[in-house]
Amino acid sequence: MLTLYYSPKSCALASHIMLEESGARYEAQLVDLNGDRAEYSKINCRGTVPALLVDGVLVTENVAILSYIARTYPNARLLPDSVLGEALCLSILGWCASSVHISFRMSIRPQRFTSEPQGWAGISDVGRKMFRENLQKIDAMLVAGKWLMGEQYTVADAYPLVFYAWALIGDVPVQDLQSFREFKDRMIARPAVRSVLQRENSVLLQA
């Protein structure tokens, strides 16, 4: 049995979705990131989600967790078959984690980037602009196919759905991006995705 530590509205949605898609037996453990994290910090010293407990070993960060899921449950075909295809898929995940995610964080938590309050508004504005530009890049990547890797659904498709939800929450324009919007609709139509969105009471169900 695997245990996934997650929190609604967080990037843990990506790992949550792909665990469900893989057919793995797992327990979803809710973590209140707005409350006292003392107990959770005993499990994960970073105090962040997602985290996946595997045979007593804790794996953190979406890129690592998603790669583990795809490799552990190959019958779900959540990674391309070729080495090059896998590398390209993981490069999308890396970009999502290191660039798109960070741009949104800048927009909503500028205090994490400077201790000077007078700089917060500027950082937030830059982050919002960068996040919107990254959404446009995702939209452009989806013009050529149903999924980010073309016709194959992979672990790379879960993280962008997080960003669509964040755009709605943060009131960042996204519904004008046709390819991205249609991708969101295809994702929500998948039973595994819908099941997780319902468990997390996601804003995407009203999108």
Is 39 in the same domain as 117?
Answer: no
Is 66 in the same domain as 91?
Answer: no
Whichever domain contains 112, its CATH number is: 1.20.1050.10
Enter the pTM of the model: 0.97
Contact criterion met (CB below 8 Å) for 179 and 195? no
Phi-psi region of 102 (alpha: psi -120 to 50; beta: other; left: phi over 0): alpha
The pLDDT tens digits for 66-124 are 999 999 999 999 999 999 999 999 999 999 999 999 999 999 999 999 999 999 999 99
The pLDDT tens digits for 149-192 are 999 999 999 999 999 999 999 999 999 999 999 999 999 999 99
Tell me the C-alpha distance between 104 and 114, whole Å. 15
The whole-number pLDDT of residue 118 equals 97
**What torsion, rounded to 10 degrees, do the Cα atoms 53, 59, 60, 64 define?**
-130
* Number of structural domains the chain divides into: 2
